[in-house]
Structure 1
Amino acid sequence: MTLSGLHVPLITPFAPDGTVDLPALERLAADVLDAGASGVVALGTTGEPSSLTPAERASVLTVLADVCRDAQLIVGANDAGALRAAPASATAALTLVPPFVRPGADGVVAHLTALAAESPVPLVIYHVPYRTAQPLTADAVRRLAAIPGVAGMKLAVGGIDADTITLMADPPAGFAILGGDDAFISPLLALGAHGGILASAHLATAEYAALTRAWEPALGHRLARLSAALFAEPNPTVIKGVLYAQGRIATPDVRLPLLPAAPESVRAALDQAGQGWSVSTGAV
């Protein structure tokens, strides 16, 4: 199995009473799939999973497993317990490189080898060194790609660095490289990435899906401006503000430690989203 195309890491919408708005979540998932996404990510960092109770996380997985019966479902899971809780129908688990402790490449390989051996689904490793503080060379990524049960990587290194170019010049066979830095997805696709896991694709889903299927530079440049506006404040605060302004979710609420996006950031993103982009079932 080689993952490809667009996967949308879904927000967790909250109702006015503070509970998880499961009907809104179901609608958002259906919207992005109808617009051409290959699948969704449940309980990724965009979904604020650390702020959810175990019961809330379980309800999110139940809803999205049902919506994704004919689509790919990737589940955010960083330990053995979370991996075992993944629905049987899940395509893969998105598993973070160990954050903060900086175990080195050998420690990362050993840790993910152990998790892959316990996981009932393949792993997609989430490499985001500006959050984890753990860099990995291209050779280290190739070692990870050789682990049985590892299907690919969400690559989000904050740009296109030398290791990315080295990796993309000779990518591991059968290993899906999915871009995870929304503003840099176009150049990464140009280098040969298989697709992207892109929070920005809550908006302009059809265009992001088209870009991941067939890279086109002018479209990539326009979507980079939209992504920059949507990530002007901590993710997913601006995305939630825009979805709320469009009437697609009941509140723009996030849970601590996040705070709602400033109105001017939401307005700027709405300006970008209003420039002829389609969203889910219609036009902005």
Structure 2
Amino acid sequence: MLNGILVPLITPFDDAGAVALSALERLAHQVLDDGAAGLVALGTTGEPGSLDPGERQAVVDVAARVSRERGTTLLVGAGITPPDGAIELSLVPPFVRPGEEGVVAHFAAGAGPRVIYHVPHRTGQDLSTATIRRLAAIPGVLGMKYATGAVDASTVALLADPPPGFALLGGDDALISPMLALGADGGILASAHVATSSFVELFETWRAGDVKAARTLGARLAEVSAALFAEPNPTVIKAVLHAQGRIPTAAVRLPLLPAGPLTSADAYRLVNR
């Protein structure tokens, strides 16, 4: 079953505005060296809507090559057919709001290994705990990136009695500590780009049952995540990665704009304190 901290990769750009594939490959190896359990290519953090088809395929090729070399998990988003051995990260249908029955029918009609990405503030579609349990029973559905924006009664009920063989992965970076405390299997966390080993340590500390240490570390990382998401993702993360010398530029593509210098400096300070 999926578990641990997975990193949804940014797409770095060079000075000419092209995808910096060599920097992407280095970054993928770095987060795995620091303990990440796997990678996500072309999630929201990877700006897939701003990439042309050739660029998207090149990003997937790099991530797949690194994942094969390292023997780690790879999830692929943006509606791209995942390569052999990879898992599709499939968004709950956005915009159309098909209702919970429609969501279940949509995923039941699919094939292949999938992790569902449930993020209501982007899709406009809420899912009840009962519906999530129905989704978990669909063949090929391996788990869910759970990013509802809250740890509420439904979250508690779901994690108190999780569907067997179904990985529940936190997707709200600032809330990952309480999610892990309740028994989540890990997280898909953009913030883990810049503090990979610390997020891995948080996961392992909760697993070890060291509540005091986990609470302290979780509070610090929640502050880091808040700073990294102070402007639209992944603008601040890219600014910090560039300041760390890990990607050639902090550039993003429209409709995103680069993070402001004060926001970037504050996030860099928190990451490196």
TM score, norm. by length of structure 1: 0.91
1:88 paired with 2:84, answer: yes
* Aligned counterpart, 2:215: 217
Query: 1: distance between equivalents of 2:78 and 2:234?
Result: 19
Distance 1:194 1:184 in 2: 14
Once the 2 structures are TM-superposed, how far is the Cα of residue 214 of structure 1 from its aligned partner?
A: 3.0
The CA distance in 2 between the partners of 1:34 and 1:245, in whole Å, is 20
Which of 221, 234, 237 in structure 1 is aligned with 2:235? 237
Of 24-33 and 246-255, more deviation after overlay is shown by 246-255
Which amino acid is 2:200 matched to? A
**Equivalent residue, structure 1, for 2:184:** 193
- CA drift of 1:77 comes to 4.1
- Which residue is 2:61 aligned to? 62
Q: Identify the residue that residue 73 of structure 1 maps to in structure 2.
A: 74
What percentage of residue pairs aligned between the two structures are identical?
Answer: 62
Partner AA of 1:131 in structure 2: R
Q: Distance in 1 between matches of 2:156 and 2:116?
A: 18
Segments of 5+ residues of structure 1 without an aligned counterpart are 276-284
Secondary structure of the 1:28 match is: helix
Aligned match of 1:103: 98
Query: Where do residues 122-271 of structure 1 align in structure 2 (5 Å cutoff)?
Result: 122-215=113-206, 216-271=214-269
Distance 1:53 1:27 in 2: 22
Is the 8 Å Cα contact of residues 76 and 95 (structure 1) preserved in structure 2? yes
2:15 and 2:85 map into 1 onto residues whose CA distance is 31
What's 1:15 paired with?
14
Q: Does 1:39 align with 2:30?
A: no
Q: 1:89 Cα deviation (Å)?
A: 2.6
The Cα of 1:139 is off from its aligned counterpart by: 0.4
1:244 and 1:229 map into 2 onto residues whose CA distance is: 16
Whether the 8 Å CA contact 2:48–2:78 is kept in 1: the answer is no
- Partners of 1:140 and 1:212 lie apart in 2 by 27
TM-score, normalising length: structure 2? 0.95
Contact 1:9 1:42 in 2 (8 A): yes
Question: What SS is found at the alignment partner of 1:214?
Answer: helix
| Per-residue Cα deviation, 1:77-123 (whole angstroms, up to 9, x for no partner) | 43xxx22xx11131x111100111111100000011112x2x3xx11
Alpha-carbon distance in 2 for matches of 1:226, 1:105: 34
Q: Check the 8 A contact 1:195/1:213 in 2, yes or no.
A: no
Q: Which runs of 4+ in 1 moved over 6 A?
A: none
> 1:167-216, CA deviations, whole angstroms, 9 ceiling, x for partnerless residues?
11111000000000000000000000000000000111111012123321
Identify the residue that residue 52 of structure 2 maps to in structure 1: 53
What is the CA–CA distance in structure 2 between the aligned matches of 1:156 and 1:241, rounded to whole Å?
Answer: 24
Task: Structure 2: state its 5+ residue gaps.
Answer: 207-213
Are the aligned partners of 1:128 and 1:156 in contact in 2 as well (CA < 8 Å)? yes
Q: Distance in 1 between matches of 2:265 and 2:225?
A: 14
- Does the 8 Å CA contact 2:21/2:62 hold for their aligned counterparts? yes
Cα offsets for 1:46-78 (capped at 9, x unmatched): 000111111101111111111111111111143
Counterpart CA distance in 2 for 1:151 and 1:56 is 28
**CA distance, structure 1, for counterparts of residue 264 and residue 35 of structure 2:** 25
Cα 1:133–1:110 shift into 2, 3 Å: same
Q: In structure 2, what is the equivalent of residue 282 of structure 1? A: none
2:73 partner letter: Q
What SS does structure 1 have at the residue aligned with 2:252? coil
Tell me how far apart the structure 2 counterparts of residues 61 and 102 of structure 1 sit (CA, whole Å): 29
Measure, in 2, the Cα distance between the counterparts of 1:52 and 1:167.
Answer: 36
- RMSD over aligned Cα atoms: 0.9
Letter in 2 for 1:208: F
* 1:281 paired residue number: none
